[in-house]
Structure 1
Amino acid sequence: MLNKVKFLMATGLVTLALASPTLAADHVLRIAYQEDPKTVDVQMTQDFYTLPLNVYDRLIEAETSGPGQSKLVPGLAESWEVSEDGKTYTFHLRKGVLFHNGEELTADDVVYTFDRMLDPKTKALSTDILDFVDGARERLDGTATTVRGLQAVDKYTVKIVLRDPYAAFTALMAAPAASIYNRKFTEPLGDQYGLTPETTNGTGPFKLTEYNLNDNQVLEANDQYYRGRPKLDQIIIRVVADSETLRLLFESDELDVFDVDYAPTQLPYFTSSDQWKGQVRAGPRVGMYYYHINQALKPFDDVRVRKAFQMAINREEILQKNFYGKGMVENGVMPRGLTCYAAATPIEYNPGKAKQLLAEAGYPDGVDIKLAQVSSWSSKWSDMNQIIQAQIKEAGFNVQINTMDESAYLASRKAGTVDNYTQNWSADFNDPDNFFYTFFSKSGTAVRGYNNNDTEVFAALDKARSMTNPEERCALYQKMTDRIVQEDAAWVPMFSLDHAYVVQPRVKNFVVPWNGWSDMSYYKMEVE
């Protein structure tokens, strides 16, 4: 393998593809992305958070507190209070926090940041994190020029008033999309903000100093960072689309971190390698693989067919064969690590019983179904469909795999006519609402093509959003888990996976992020 690396490097096949960024420090961390993020404006992306998590800060931060676990800690806000009715949040900002351009953080910057997100001219992508703010909808639809729920009380105090109580609001304030901008710097730049180092400005532990499109980005330590200067002097992020090239660069000591998510088939190699097995860092991700079920389409309008579908899938076999057993079979709506998580009632793997249920539903000779598959997606999804196609035949399901392009899939999903499909979901913020409301609220079940029109579930999920007693709220979510998975058989929870990385021996304090993203803050990391 190293001979191949040396050949590639000697012939320039690696170095020509990756221009060398400026090396100006000793403690340099070298990582890779498979695509160029195109922007550092976090309001304009929902996929690439490495730059925002290191260039910006948020009022509240979600820190990894243990394997697959997180806690909310003060960020730019050193403290906050919530009113008794759960609608008014008062944030007290740290004094003396400086943006990279030297401007001090003030309450006006916070108000500006969230107003910018809701300004229809911005065309921001993650406005849903502010949906509960009073006046947000009017600002977003252009019927108001300000947001009445956003107020700078004084230079260091921000008041945010919600339209209705929302228990997950503090967790949302720790999401990457809630990163805080400087009004004086950002406002004049308009839609050019975040496209270059010169047009990017945050309070975070690192400053963006180079951005070579489709090649690399360079971050340098912020000497004035309010929590103290990072131990790393510099982070170099290379854009490397090919997974084989990623491995070659890592093994030739051109990269310090190899994210196995970018090349899952490499995991057995690294875990069995005498050189690398001791350098594997893995942890559970707060996320879920699942099979969607569309109750608007026959035969899945019958709960017996849905239960048969659940029972006919050997989830443990798929976890072992396709993901090397690195994870855990899930049985509910909440994956391990999520706030309120509790072990759910197991779904039995029983193709014989599934066959009986199909007969009771009027299909004694089996039933024809379709599974949707998007042509441009990773082959892991087509592999899963093919395995399940073979597995559930024993129970009497005759599967046709319907391959379509992504636009057709999204259109049919929105219209509620999409066939059953497999996907995964990782937590954007650590709260059950991120899973339950996304998939099983009245709006969520419609736009994602579940059509699980259970009014009891709708009412419970609306109620849970405003509950202020954590124990009672968790108990309600656990009750709804049984309702959705066992009684309604509204989807098939598959498994949660571990997220593995391989790191060079020089890398210290590497912590696998709780949420399972490949994006993380590198503030506490060190290299020798």
Structure 2
Amino acid sequence: MQDPDKGMDRRDFLAKTAAVGVVATGALSAAGPAFARTLAPSKLKTVRYAMSGGLTPADLADPAFSNTQHDGRLMTAVYEQLTRYDESLQARPWLAERWDSNKKGDVWTFTLRSGVRFHDGSPLTAKDVVYSFRRLLDPKTKSPSAGLLSFIDPTGIKAVGARRVSFKLKQAIADFPLALITKSSYIVKDGATSDELKLEANGTGAFMLKEFQPGDDPTIFVRNKRYWGAGLPRADVLRLVSISEPAARIAALKRGQVDIIENPPGSEVPGLQGGNTRVVVQVKGDMELVAMQIDQEPFDDNRVRDAMKYALDRQRMARLVAQGRGTIVNDIPIASFLQYALPGPARAHDIAKAKALLKQAGYGDGLEVTLSVSDVQARFVEWATVYKAMASPAGIDVKLNVTPADTYWDNVWLKDPLFVSAWIARPTDSMLGLIFPSTAAWNETHWKRPSWDTRLAKARRTLDVKARTGLYRQLQQEIVNEGGYLVAYMVNTVSATRRNVKGWRQSGTFFENFATIDIA
């Protein structure tokens, strides 16, 4: 039986649905010509949102396979989860209005909001929730997110009446409402298949999918008039476009071609604070980093990994690349402000120690490595270029392999032994469970230690907060000491808008809230 965490290749999934073409929701199709007439541009309040990430043919409308930046934006517009992050990345009620557990913490019951409807008009019920999670966990679905929820017993997900859902867990999970939040934990309609979701994208979210073609701009959404949130959404139309080149993104904002842009370079931020534009800063903890695959030479030697880490001048990297907006962290992609995060100072920059470690590892005459990178995200190439200069005095010759943005996530990420990556802020347990367990689909560094996996499971089921904190910190310390990440800083999430945009606050996570955006 295939491991449920070994996700189907996104291109394989697309091949199964290639004949589908442009996506339009069933609810919109049923509305017919009368609805189409309401799309007259002069009468609609339209939000034009420019993403910083590139589009790929692997972009999808099925939550089970949500992975790319475009996927994340699409899912949060169309679908919703039982719980959602608050400002401190704790769980807040969303489709579930409340929850409770037994004393052991291995049975949790959620009560759904009343009056919630899917885009096709059908009411949200407990059966939809049961189906959504069983489908996500089914090995036949091959969702790459299934492993994040492997502690749920699929047979133990049951409807308790029309609005109550019970989850029986394989082990106690102290923070289960928080652990439920993943890239793919969106609620779909009972019985919906992958082919149907590709066609209809039938969710409960504030917007309905109108036009979508994988890899092409724009993706267009229209207002869900049945939305349960009072007075939301405030816009009639949401248009997503991809402008991966920072200068082009800024120019489009200044010319009024888009209303919101992501990730303006730090050097350009002062020029956006005035006139018809403004800057929105959110403290969250995004991180650019380098991943070393620790089962590949020369990174299978921890002395080499340590030398790479000691060659990194974190203070200088934050100053040069993050434009002074970075907060120094250690070699693990977990924001220091989070509950359970590892305290203490980051590893010091030490060229002499890096040289000594390389000599011990048999590289006294120097080490040559190839670092794969792309401009698929802001600061990636700059990070790699600065690190190349930093590593040289230690005898590490970093050759940069600059690859195209539109193929980076498919052809380089997870495949090359040394590459630049990035993660948005997630709760401590979520990040540990996402990229470090032996069977994790997105295990960038090939950190595969069964004893570590066992201790993560123990931390999750430990109900005492103090004891749980200690266990989580031990797990992180082991990664800092022996893992394959180079992490210099966490940086504030920055976006920029036209002055007439109201109600926008970028979350700094994979889950944006487009419903509150208004155009004055």
TM-score normalised to structure 2 length: 0.79
Name which of 149, 158, 163 aligns with 1:156: 163
Asked whether the 8 Å contact 1:307–1:489 carries over to 2, the reply is no
| Residue 435 of structure 1 pairs with residue 431 of structure 2 | yes
**Cα deviations across residues 347-397 of structure 1 (Å, max 9, x unaligned)?**
11121233344445565x443242341579669545444433332221233
Partner residue in 1 for 2:177: 170
Q: Whole-Å Cα distance in 2 between the matches of residues 75 and 207 of structure 1?
A: 18
Query: 1:240 Cα shift?
Result: 4.2
Q: Whole-Å Cα distance in 1 between the matches of residues 141 and 362 of structure 2?
A: 53
Query: 1:521 Cα shift?
Result: 1.3
From the superposition, tell whether residues 436 and 49 of structure 1 become closer, same or farther in structure 2 (CA, over 3 Å).
closer
SS in 1 for 2:287: strand
From the superposition, tell whether residues 403 and 274 of structure 1 become closer, same or farther in structure 2 (CA, over 3 Å).
closer
Q: Whole-Å Cα distance in 2 between the matches of residues 21 and 478 of structure 1?
A: 53
From the superposition, tell whether residues 470 and 287 of structure 1 become closer, same or farther in structure 2 (CA, over 3 Å).
farther
Any residues of structure 2 matched to 1:100-499 within 5 Å, and which? 100-119=119-138, 122-134=141-153, 147-183=154-190, 187=192, 191-195=195-199, 199-211=200-212, 214-230=216-232, 232-241=234-243, 243=245, 244-260=247-263, 264-265=264-265, 267-273=266-272, 275=274, 279-296=278-295, 300-333=299-332, 334-359=334-359, 365-373=364-372, 381-400=380-399, 413=415, 419-427=417-425, 430-443=426-439, 448-451=444-447, 453=449, 455=451, 457-486=452-481, 488=482, 490-499=484-493
From the superposition, tell whether residues 398 and 76 of structure 1 become closer, same or farther in structure 2 (CA, over 3 Å).
closer
Partner residue in 2 for 1:35: 55
Worse-matched range after superposition: 34-43 or 315-324: 34-43
Query: 1:206 Cα shift?
Result: 2.5
RMSD: 3.4
Query: 1:38 Cα shift?
Result: 5.1
Query: 1:326 Cα shift?
Result: 2.5
Asked whether the 8 Å contact 1:513–1:520 carries over to 2, the reply is yes
SS in 2 for 1:421: strand
Q: Whole-Å Cα distance in 1 between the matches of residues 508 and 343 of structure 2?
A: 19
Gaps of 5+ in 2: 1-37
Gaps of 5+ in 1: 1-19, 135-146
From the superposition, tell whether residues 402 and 207 of structure 1 become closer, same or farther in structure 2 (CA, over 3 Å).
closer
Name which of 60, 65, 83 aligns with 2:102: 83
Q: Whole-Å Cα distance in 1 between the matches of residues 299 and 139 of structure 2?
A: 40
From the superposition, tell whether residues 23 and 387 of structure 1 become closer, same or farther in structure 2 (CA, over 3 Å).
same
AA in 2 matched with 1:56: Y
Asked whether the 8 Å contact 1:207–1:221 carries over to 2, the reply is yes
Asked whether the 8 Å contact 2:78–2:208 carries over to 1, the reply is yes
SS in 2 for 1:49: helix
AA in 2 matched with 1:319: A
From the superposition, tell whether residues 466 and 245 of structure 1 become closer, same or farther in structure 2 (CA, over 3 Å).
same
AA in 1 matched with 2:250: R
Q: Whole-Å Cα distance in 1 between the matches of residues 497 and 401 of structure 2?
A: 40
Any residues of structure 2 matched to 1:502-513 within 5 Å, and which? 502-513=496-507
From the superposition, tell whether residues 43 and 453 of structure 1 become closer, same or farther in structure 2 (CA, over 3 Å).
closer
Partner residue in 2 for 1:62: 85
From the superposition, tell whether residues 96 and 121 of structure 1 become closer, same or farther in structure 2 (CA, over 3 Å).
same
From the superposition, tell whether residues 356 and 438 of structure 1 become closer, same or farther in structure 2 (CA, over 3 Å).
same
Q: Whole-Å Cα distance in 2 between the matches of residues 440 and 302 of structure 1?
A: 18
**Cα deviations across residues 482-526 of structure 1 (Å, max 9, x unaligned)?**
33324x3653322212221111111122212042x4x51122233
**Cα deviations across residues 232-261 of structure 1 (Å, max 9, x unaligned)?**
13133143446354333322223211212x
Q: Whole-Å Cα distance in 2 between the matches of residues 70 and 25 of structure 1?
A: 37
From the superposition, tell whether residues 435 and 73 of structure 1 become closer, same or farther in structure 2 (CA, over 3 Å).
closer
Worse-matched range after superposition: 92-101 or 397-406: 397-406
Asked whether the 8 Å contact 2:335–2:341 carries over to 1, the reply is yes
AA in 2 matched with 1:468: L
From the superposition, tell whether residues 114 and 41 of structure 1 become closer, same or farther in structure 2 (CA, over 3 Å).
same
Worse-matched range after superposition: 85-94 or 166-175: 166-175
SS in 2 for 1:154: coil
AA in 2 matched with 1:207: M
Asked whether the 8 Å contact 2:286–2:492 carries over to 1, the reply is no
From the superposition, tell whether residues 237 and 390 of structure 1 become closer, same or farther in structure 2 (CA, over 3 Å).
same
AA in 1 matched with 2:389: A
Q: Whole-Å Cα distance in 2 between the matches of residues 448 and 304 of structure 1?
A: 19
Partner residue in 2 for 1:137: none
From the superposition, tell whether residues 484 and 169 of structure 1 become closer, same or farther in structure 2 (CA, over 3 Å).
same
**Cα deviations across residues 60-89 of structure 1 (Å, max 9, x unaligned)?**
1223x2xxx333111121211122222211
Q: Whole-Å Cα distance in 1 between the matches of residues 285 and 84 of structure 2?
A: 17
Asked whether the 8 Å contact 1:25–1:233 carries over to 2, the reply is no
Q: Whole-Å Cα distance in 2 between the matches of residues 357 and 315 of structure 1?
A: 19
AA in 2 matched with 1:117: L
AA in 2 matched with 1:216: P
From the superposition, tell whether residues 403 and 161 of structure 1 become closer, same or farther in structure 2 (CA, over 3 Å).
same
Query: 1:228 Cα shift?
Result: 0.9
Q: Whole-Å Cα distance in 2 between the matches of residues 125 and 102 of structure 1?
A: 30
Asked whether the 8 Å contact 1:43–1:124 carries over to 2, the reply is yes
User: Identity over the aligned pairs, expressed in percent?
Assistant: 23
SS in 1 for 2:119: coil
SS in 2 for 1:323: coil
Name which of 491, 504, 523 aligns with 2:515: 523
Asked whether the 8 Å contact 1:110–1:181 carries over to 2, the reply is yes
Q: Whole-Å Cα distance in 1 between the matches of residues 433 and 80 of structure 2?
A: 27
**Cα deviations across residues 215-241 of structure 1 (Å, max 9, x unaligned)?**
434433333322313151313314344
Q: Whole-Å Cα distance in 2 between the matches of residues 497 and 99 of structure 1?
A: 37
Asked whether the 8 Å contact 2:311–2:351 carries over to 1, the reply is yes
Worse-matched range after superposition: 92-101 or 400-409: 400-409
SS in 2 for 1:394: helix
AA in 2 matched with 1:43: A
From the superposition, tell whether residues 277 and 103 of structure 1 become closer, same or farther in structure 2 (CA, over 3 Å).
closer
Partner residue in 2 for 1:4: none
Worse-matched range after superposition: 349-358 or 492-501: 349-358
Q: Whole-Å Cα distance in 1 between the matches of residues 295 and 142 of structure 2?
A: 33
From the superposition, tell whether residues 221 and 444 of structure 1 become closer, same or farther in structure 2 (CA, over 3 Å).
closer
User: How many residue pairs were aligned?
Assistant: 471
Asked whether the 8 Å contact 1:78–1:93 carries over to 2, the reply is yes
Asked whether the 8 Å contact 1:194–1:200 carries over to 2, the reply is yes
| Residue 45 of structure 1 pairs with residue 66 of structure 2 | yes
From the superposition, tell whether residues 93 and 289 of structure 1 become closer, same or farther in structure 2 (CA, over 3 Å).
same
Asked whether the 8 Å contact 1:291–1:493 carries over to 2, the reply is yes
AA in 2 matched with 1:524: T
